[in-house]
Amino acid sequence: MTHKSKIQLNVPAGNLPSLMAAVDAGADSVYIGFRSPTNLRNLPGLNFSVEEASKAVQYAHRHGIRVYVTVNTYPMDHQLEECFRAVDDADDIGADAVIVADLAVLEYARSRHPRLDIHLSCVAGAADPGAVRFYREEFGVSCIIIPRVLSLEQIAALRQQTDVLLEVMVFGVLCANYDGRCCLSSFITGTSAHSIGACAPAEFVRFEETKGGHMTLELNGITINKFVATQERTYPTPCKGKYYNPVVGRRLHTFQEPCCLNALPLLPELVAAGVDIVKIEGRQRSAVYVRLVTSIWREAIDALNRSESFDHRKSENVALESVLEGIASSLGTLSGG
Amino acid sequence: MKISVGPAPSHWGRNKIESFYRELAQSPADYVYLGETICGCRSCFSPDFLGRICDEFTRAGKEVYASSLTLVTDEKQYRAFRDLAQRVQRIEINSPAFLGFARRYPAVTGIFLNVYNSAAADILAERKVKRIVLHPELGFQSVAIIAKRCTVDTEVVVHGHIPIAISAACQTARSLGRNGDGCGELCRRYPEGMVLEAGDRPLFRIEGPQTLSAATYCLVEYLPQLAKAGVNIVRVLPQWNHTGRIVRIYRDVLEYRRDCRDAAEELKAISPTGLCNGWFLGKAGWIYESPNMPPASTEIRSRSCVLPDGRLQKESNRRHYDANNFAREDWRRNLSSNDIILEVNQLVEMMNRNPQFIKQVTEFKGITLVLSATDTGREFTIELSKKGVRVCPYTDEPFDVKIRATEQVLWAVISGQMDADAAFFAGKASVSGSVVTAYRLKNRFLSLLQRHLAHRLEIEDKSVVK
């Protein structure tokens, strides 16, 4: 299938200043969430009230930028109403699409809100043509956000089998596990990240400073990491923790080295693979982050559209790395292997 | 209630698998699931092999299901399961890749299909799924609601090392310093996985790309509750040892031939890494509580300092005034033009004159933030109250959050030149106290401050232009 349209840049915003920064720095679309356990960045002080979200949509639309609202938790029965209301609100404020994972919320959006586009959240885990076909045919999703488990080659192969929009995460936090299939945080804390919308919820996190600026990270009273004074730190998520493995006799970053996704060097390949939208992670980050990351990706995409070269190793573009978690950036699974 | 035995979760090799299923054919299990669900690299289940086992079970009067991979990433894996489904004629769908197959074969959906509510279960029922295996993360309350409301049968995992996560990368290979590609099926050497300890506690168990509980999940004492809730099937996950025996224990309890307390004792004795059942009780997964005994000593250790509303109890700022700090009177005299305290103070005084800002700050009811400059040794406090924001040079009062960084970094974060998370990642800033409050300050207060600051600068810019 042929794809001629230009690749779009989808940028996160956790509050109004970040949304304005995203719009001003050249996002094609911005994704946001409501201040409730209806989306997977349900963090203290973050996200939009319905009123703020309405302002956000007005601001973005004035600049010709689309707004997507994430309603991508897996709600339990008692939480369904709140998720349905979030979809209602997204429609009311004039958002362009909802990002959904749960079957009941998908069905609700499809049947009650035909005006809204439905994007399939990466936590639905649709990584192959069979899954894409199912969600497309049964719920009319117009865009699939690909879970962070595929290589570029596999994405290109998927492209050949579907005309649905394909969105790929290209920058930010890299979950170690298959999207929507990780309950490490829930196992430690007893709070379901899938249905509450927060991995390693703040109320369970404790940073304990010890001698010489060393720091111990506890989640629900269980030590999951220790940082040396000069060492880079990570979010308090269990997949970034260090665990003792008696077989190898050492404490290891069992799931993942502390690194983040930065696929900027692969942008031409992503375009060639037929990706429609590239997505930046980080609704929990500040407007500074949003502005910096958006403007560099914008510049890279524009250069590519003009068939000009873009030097991702140039100093200002290396600045991207400075806002990332951990010691190094990674291409994730995109590079294959 | 019927008993099922889930698909073998680990790489056991062909011989073990053969003897395992031979033993299982003699066990009182009603349903058996077969097939590789975890890793596409593993090779012990050829279609012929599975077909043969399937026939044996059918002869033994058991219903057999072919289980799919959880993560399907290529066409070959897709076709392999399509052929297996054709052969076995009943399936367990573990990947959304195969949801469409429910129209062709009697189908059960596995735990990673994430059915968290009864409406989702009904949507699958409309698409011909006949049974849902519920995620063990769902506690009893959710299980009972779904079992009661939905129109399909429900199956609940009651015993074994429960699945917690699955990845595209192989944890076993990683831990042994190897890449998952061309791994030579290293995981075969660790048929029960590798236990991971956190703070001396066995917590997880990694096996190839999956993470399981280190302890054995055990709900034998809650079988009557599950039966009463209308759950149709209970699932035992295959264990390296004793699976047939475990199935018999569950069968005996279900048929009132055995007391569940006594059964729990026996199961405990054959579970070397202990038992867990916290998820079922709505608690952390690793916890084990018996309904017949007082809560175990594994109860959360540091929760004592978490208040019921989720806030941490305020810590006392034990660092009293010392020579490094400026006395209150000296403070203003010692300010230089680029002094951070002066800058912050000017910033908040300016903001305090903005009624809109004051209104927005009132949502932070009495938060005390201490900023501690690591280079100059000075500390000062920002108090947020309904009157607005106040900066004072130091305090002996208890604080909610303390942030430590150089003066330059502190100012960069406050004024919106540096991302707070980035400062933290780089080891340039540390945080202590209530993490909830720290998040609120970062996500809300800082953005409020910066928004008003930006607005003011904009006005100033315009007036300059004029």
CB spacing of B165 vs A182 below 8 angstroms: yes
Average pLDDT over residues A244-249: 95
The CA dihedral of A176, A181, A186, A188, to the nearest 10 degrees, is -50
pLDDT at residue A306 greater than cutoff 50: yes
More confident residue, A316 or B342: B342
Average pLDDT over residues A278-304: 95
- In the numeric block, which tokens belong to residue A117? 């586009």
CB spacing of A255 vs B171 below 8 angstroms: yes
Q: State which amino acid sits at residue B110.
A: G
Query: With contact defined as beta carbons under 8 Å apart, do A190 and A308 qualify?
Result: no
Full 3-state SS string of chain A: CCCCCCCEEEEECCCHHHHHHHHHHCCCEEEEEECCCCCCCCCCCCCECHHHHHHHHHHHHHCCCEEEEEECCCCCHHHHHHHHHHHHHHHHCCCCEEEECCHHHHHHHHHHCCCCEEEECHHHCCCCHHHHHHHHHHHCCCEEEECCCCCHHHHHHHHCCCCCEEEEEEEEECCCCCCCCECHHHHHHCCCHHHHCCCCCHHHEEEEECHHHCEEEEECCEEEEEECCCCCCCCCCHHHCCEEECCCCEEECCCCCCEEEECHHHHHHHHHCCCCEEEECCCCCCHHHHHHHHHHHHHHHHHHHCCCCCCCCCHHHHHHHHCCCCCEEECCCCCCC
Lowest mean pLDDT among A41-45, A55-59, B343-347, B408-412: B343-347
Q: Does A64 touch chain B (CB under 8 A)?
A: no
Measured between alpha carbons, how far is B392 from B326 in angstroms, rounded to an integer? 11
Q: Does B417 touch chain A (CB under 8 A)?
A: yes
Q: Does A285 touch chain B (CB under 8 A)?
A: yes
pLDDT score of B298? 39
- In the numeric block, which tokens belong to residue B399? 């604080």
- In the numeric block, which tokens belong to residue A288? 């500074």
Average pLDDT over residues A78-100: 98
CB spacing of A44 vs B436 below 8 angstroms: yes
Measured between alpha carbons, how far is B274 from B251 in angstroms, rounded to an integer? 22
- On the 0-12 / 13-18 / 19+ scale of CB atoms within 10 A, B457 is exposed
Give the rounded percent of residues in chain B with a pLDDT score beyond 90.
56
pLDDT score of A327? 64
pLDDT score of A309? 84
pLDDT at residue B309 greater than cutoff 80: no
Measured between alpha carbons, how far is B267 from B274 in angstroms, rounded to an integer? 9
Measured between alpha carbons, how far is B16 from B218 in angstroms, rounded to an integer? 24
pLDDT range class, residue B460, cuts 50, 70, 90? low
Q: Does A318 touch chain B (CB under 8 A)?
A: no
Q: Does B91 touch chain A (CB under 8 A)?
A: no
CB spacing of A188 vs B72 below 8 angstroms: no
Question: Which residues from chain B sit within 8 angstroms of residue A324, using beta carbons?
Answer: 422, 425
pLDDT score of A107? 98
pLDDT score of B300? 36
pLDDT at residue B315 greater than cutoff 60: no
pLDDT range class, residue B357, cuts 50, 70, 90? confident
Average pLDDT over residues A52-62: 97
Strand partners, A30: A11, A67
Question: pTM for the complete prediction?
Answer: 0.91
Pick from B164, B69, B91, B116: nearest CA to A103: B116
Lowest mean pLDDT among A233-247, A297-311, B45-59: B45-59
pLDDT score of B333? 38
Tell me the H-state helices in B272-418: 328-333, 340-352, 355-361, 407-414
More confident residue, B191 or B463: B191
Q: What is the rounded radius of gyration, in angstroms, for the C-alpha atoms of chain A?
A: 20
Measured between alpha carbons, how far is A322 from B321 in angstroms, rounded to an integer? 35
For chain A, positions 10-49, list CB contacts with chain B under 8 A: 14-18, 43-46
- In the numeric block, which tokens belong to residue A336? 């294959």
Q: What is the rounded radius of gyration, in angstroms, for the C-alpha atoms of chain B?
A: 30
pLDDT at residue B430 greater than cutoff 90: no
Buried residues in B253-273 as b, exposed as e (16+ CB within 10 A): bbeeebebeebbeebeeebee
pLDDT range class, residue B318, cuts 50, 70, 90? very low
Q: Does B270 touch chain A (CB under 8 A)?
A: no
Measured between alpha carbons, how far is B1 from B223 in angstroms, rounded to an integer? 9
Query: With contact defined as beta carbons under 8 Å apart, do A146 and B135 qualify?
Result: no
Contacts of B185 (CB under 8 A, 6+ apart): B11, B41, B42, B43
CB spacing of A187 vs B436 below 8 angstroms: no
pLDDT digits (tens, 9 = 90+) for B200-248: 899 999 999 999 999 999 999 999 999 999 999 999 999 999 999 999 9
HSE-CB of A178 using CA atoms within 13 angstroms: 31
Question: Which residues from chain B sit within 8 angstroms of residue A244, using beta carbons?
Answer: 196-198
Here the ipTM equals 0.95
More confident residue, B388 or A270: A270
Give the H/E segment covering residue B252: helix B243-254
Average pLDDT over residues B350-356: 83
pLDDT at residue A242 greater than cutoff 90: yes
pLDDT range class, residue A5, cuts 50, 70, 90? low
pLDDT score of B335? 40
Q: State which amino acid sits at residue B439.
A: Y
CA A192 to the chain's CA centroid: 18
Query: With contact defined as beta carbons under 8 Å apart, do A241 and B198 qualify?
Result: yes
pLDDT score of A330? 85
Query: With contact defined as beta carbons under 8 Å apart, do B127 and B93 qualify?
Result: no
- Tell me the nearest-neighbour CA distance from A306 into chain B, angstroms: 31
pLDDT at residue B465 greater than cutoff 80: no
Nearest Cβ partner for A203 among B174, B427, B436 = B436
Q: Does B436 touch chain A (CB under 8 A)?
A: yes
Average pLDDT over residues B23-32: 94
What is the SS3 assignment for B232?
A: coil
Report DSSP state, residue B79. Answer: H
Average pLDDT over residues B248-274: 95
Query: With contact defined as beta carbons under 8 Å apart, do B32 and B50 qualify?
Result: no
Q: Does B411 touch chain A (CB under 8 A)?
A: no
pLDDT at residue B307 greater than cutoff 70: no
Query: With contact defined as beta carbons under 8 Å apart, do B210 and B166 qualify?
Result: yes
- In the numeric block, which tokens belong to residue B427? 């080891």
Q: Does B118 touch chain A (CB under 8 A)?
A: yes
More confident residue, B109 or B319: B109
Report DSSP state, residue B168. Answer: S
Q: Does A156 touch chain B (CB under 8 A)?
A: no
Give the H/E segment covering residue B276: strand B275-276
- Tell me the nearest-neighbour CA distance from B260 into chain A, angstroms: 25
Write the DSSP assignment of B98-131 as a string of letters.
GGGGGGTS-EEE-GGG---SHHHHHHHHHTTEEE
pLDDT score of B322? 29
CB spacing of A288 vs B418 below 8 angstroms: yes
pLDDT digits (tens, 9 = 90+) for A115-147: 999 999 999 999 999 999 999 999 999 999 999
pLDDT at residue A241 greater than cutoff 70: yes
Measure the CA angle with vertex A209, ends A203 and A210; round to 5°: 140
- Tell me the nearest-neighbour CA distance from A105 into chain B, angstroms: 8
CB spacing of B99 vs A286 below 8 angstroms: no
Nearest Cβ partner for B199 among A77, A223, A325 = A223
Q: Does A186 touch chain B (CB under 8 A)?
A: yes
- On the 0-12 / 13-18 / 19+ scale of CB atoms within 10 A, A55 is middle
pLDDT digits (tens, 9 = 90+) for A20-56: 999 999 999 999 999 999 999 999 999 999 999 999 9
pLDDT at residue B61 greater than cutoff 50: yes
Average pLDDT over residues B393-397: 72
Measured between alpha carbons, how far is A298 from A64 in angstroms, rounded to an integer? 15
pLDDT score of B185? 85
Average pLDDT over residues A152-178: 95
Measured between alpha carbons, how far is A65 from B142 in angstroms, rounded to an integer? 40
More confident residue, B275 or B296: B275
Residue B289 — φ and ψ, nearest 5°?
A: -135, 130
pLDDT at residue B293 greater than cutoff 70: no
- On the 0-12 / 13-18 / 19+ scale of CB atoms within 10 A, B358 is middle
Question: Which residues from chain A sit within 8 angstroms of residue B437, using beta carbons?
Answer: 44
pLDDT score of B440? 92
Average pLDDT over residues A153-168: 96
pLDDT score of A337? 52
Measured between alpha carbons, how far is B239 from B161 in angstroms, rounded to an integer? 8
Nearest Cβ partner for B195 among A74, A227, A246 = A246
Question: Which residues from chain A sit within 8 angstroms of residue B447, using beta carbons?
Answer: 15-18, 286-287
pLDDT range class, residue B165, cuts 50, 70, 90? very high
Q: Does A220 touch chain B (CB under 8 A)?
A: yes
Average pLDDT over residues B136-143: 96
Residue A216 — φ and ψ, nearest 5°?
A: -110, 135
Give the rounded percent of residues in chain B with a pLDDT score beyond 70.
86
Question: Which residues from chain A sit within 8 angstroms of residue B278, using beta carbons?
Answer: 190
Buried residues in B134-168 as b, exposed as e (16+ CB within 10 A): bbbbbbbebbbbbbeebebbbbbbbbbbbbbbbbb
pLDDT score of B337? 42
Query: With contact defined as beta carbons under 8 Å apart, do A191 and A208 qualify?
Result: no
Question: Which residues from chain B sit within 8 angstroms of residue A293, using beta carbons?
Answer: none
